[in-house]
């Protein structure tokens, strides 16, 4: 591949993920709140649901969701935002999660411990004969069970209240397929679509979110054997490089290779399931 081919591919990936050519925080906040309002009205649903972890993505998406339901109510319709704390037992960064809830000021805050259900599923599978290569493998699979347990909890609240589930997928995680398929990847609406990680942080700043949350190091925090494992360590590439790539800038050869191979390997996560009718 020539370097021109490389740049063309890089541009096509950025375009496919909806990365913006120009970015203005206030405009993007307005556009995304308006999007959430329109989706509620058009669907006839009466609210939004989102898990709040204490990370920057759910802090920003949560605040957009609260602004949206308030706007729908001002227009005379019914709308409620259900913010969900979904810790796995005791969460190490619980203080950040509480700070996020205080900042978002959601209509309703529900807390559900996903540990009993996640552990029960793993145990039942093991009792039925499922075997793992080693403790790390078991812990990784358990991590995806936790992400899907959060999905179950959010859809239960959405189904009960006639509300839509909000996801926090943005361009950086979408490109790297860095989410659990049908776990945190499952949702009805993706208000952060197309944003780089840096742009999500910029929206947080413009929305007045606490700087501790805006600047927080991203973690999926799914593996009990590696608590608070940073996304960057898991991915083998920094968000700075991911964002630079998305915006068409130059990254190291190694980062380029990691990003492109991960993007290609995770293509299935950005599509509907394949069928014989494709």
Ligand X SMILES: Nc1ncnc2c1ncn2[C@@H]1O[C@H](COP(=O)(O)OP(=O)(O)OP(=O)(O)O)[C@@H](O)[C@H]1O
Where on the chain is the footprint of ligand X (CB under 6 A)?
50-53, 55-58, 84-87, 91, 150, 168, 173, 184, 218-220
| Active site (catalytic) residues | 57, 173
Q: Is 188 annotated as a binding residue?
A: yes
- Which residue minimizes CB distance to Mg ion? 55
Using an 8 Å Cβ cutoff, are 209 and 63 in contact?
Answer: yes
Q: Is 55 annotated as a binding residue?
A: yes
Provide the edge-to-edge strand list for the sheet that holds 164-165: 108-111, 80-85, 47-51, 164-165
Site string for Mg ion, 205-244 (x = CB under 5 A): --------------x-------------------------
Of 14, 47, 51, 55, which lies in the binding site for Mg ion, with binding defined by CB under 5 A?
Answer: 55
Is 268 annotated as a binding-site member? Answer: yes
Q: With CB cut-offs between 5 and 8 Å by kind, which of ligand DND, ligand X, Mg ion, none does residue 82 bind?
A: none
Stretch that binds Mg ion, among 48-56, 61-69, 73-81, 135-143 (CB under 5 A): 48-56
Tell me whether residue 38 is annotated as binding.
Answer: no
- Which entry of ligand X, ligand DND, Mg ion, none binds 180, CB below 5 to 8 A by partner kind? ligand DND
Site residues (CB under 6 A) for ligand DND?
A: 143-144, 147, 173, 178-181, 183-184, 220, 222, 231, 234, 268
CA 62 – CA 104 distance, rounded (Å): 6
Closer residue to ligand DND (CB): 5 or 134: 134
204 scored as a contact of Mg ion (CB under 5 A): no
Is there a binding annotation on residue 14?
no
Provide the minimum distance between the beta carbon of 221 and Mg ion in the complex, in angstroms, as a whole number: 6
78 is in an annotated binding site: no
Q: Give the chain as a 3 state SS string.
A: CCHHHHHHHHHHHHHHCCCCCCCCHHHHHHHHHHHHHHHHHHHCCCEEEEECCCCHHHHHHHHHHHHHHHHHHHCCCCCEEEEEECCCCCCCCHHHHHHHHHHHCCCEEEECCCHHHHHHHHHHHHHCCCCCCCHHHHHHHHHHHHHHHHHHHHHHHHHHHCCEEECCCCHHHHHHCCCCCCCCCCCCECCCCCCCHHHHHHHHHHCCCCHHHHCCCCECCCCCCCCCCEHHHHHCCCHHHHHHHHCCCCCCHHHHHHHHHHHHHCHHHHCCCCCCCC
Between 68 and 213, CB nearer to Mg ion: 213
Residues annotated within the binding site for deamido-NAD(+) are: 148, 181, 188, 268-269
Residues annotated within the binding site are: 51-58, 148, 168, 173, 181, 188, 197, 219, 268-269
Residues annotated within the binding site for Mg(2+) are: 57, 173
Site residues for Mg ion per CB under 5 A: 53, 55, 219
């Amino acid at each position: 591949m020539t370097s021109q081919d490389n740049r063309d591919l890089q541009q096509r990936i950025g375009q496919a993920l909806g990365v913006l050519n120009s970015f203005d925080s206030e405009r993007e906040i307005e556009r995304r709140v308006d999007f959430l309002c329109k989706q509620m009205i058009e669907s006839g649903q009466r609210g939004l649901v989102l898990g709040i972890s204490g990370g920057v993505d759910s802090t920003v998406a949560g605040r957009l969701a609260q602004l949206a339901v308030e706007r729908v109510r001002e227009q005379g319709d019914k709308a409620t935002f259900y913010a969900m704390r979904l810790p796995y037992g005791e969460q190490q960064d619980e203080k950040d999660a509480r700070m996020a809830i205080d900042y978002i000021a959601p209509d309703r805050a529900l807390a559900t411990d996903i540990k009993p259900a996640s552990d029960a599923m793993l145990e039942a599978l093991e009792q039925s004969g499922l075997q793992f290569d080693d403790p790390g493998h078991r812990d990784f699979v358990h991590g995806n069970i936790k992400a899907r347990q959060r999905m179950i909890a959010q859809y239960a609240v959405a189904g009960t209240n006639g509300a839509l589930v909000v996801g926090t997928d943005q361009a950086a995680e979408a490109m790297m397929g860095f989410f659990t398929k049908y776990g945190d990847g499952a949702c009805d609406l993706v208000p952060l679509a197309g944003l780089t990680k840096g742009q999500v942080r910029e929206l947080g700043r413009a929305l007045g979110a606490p700087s501790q949350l805006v600047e927080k190091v991203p973690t999926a925090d799914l593996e009990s054997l590696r608590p608070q494992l940073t996304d960057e360590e898991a991915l083998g590439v920094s968000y700075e490089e991911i964002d630079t790539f998305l915006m068409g800038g130059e990254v190291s050869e190694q980062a380029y290779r990691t990003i492109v191979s991960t993007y290609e390997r995770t293509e299935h996560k950005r599509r509907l399931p394949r069928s014989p009718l494709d």
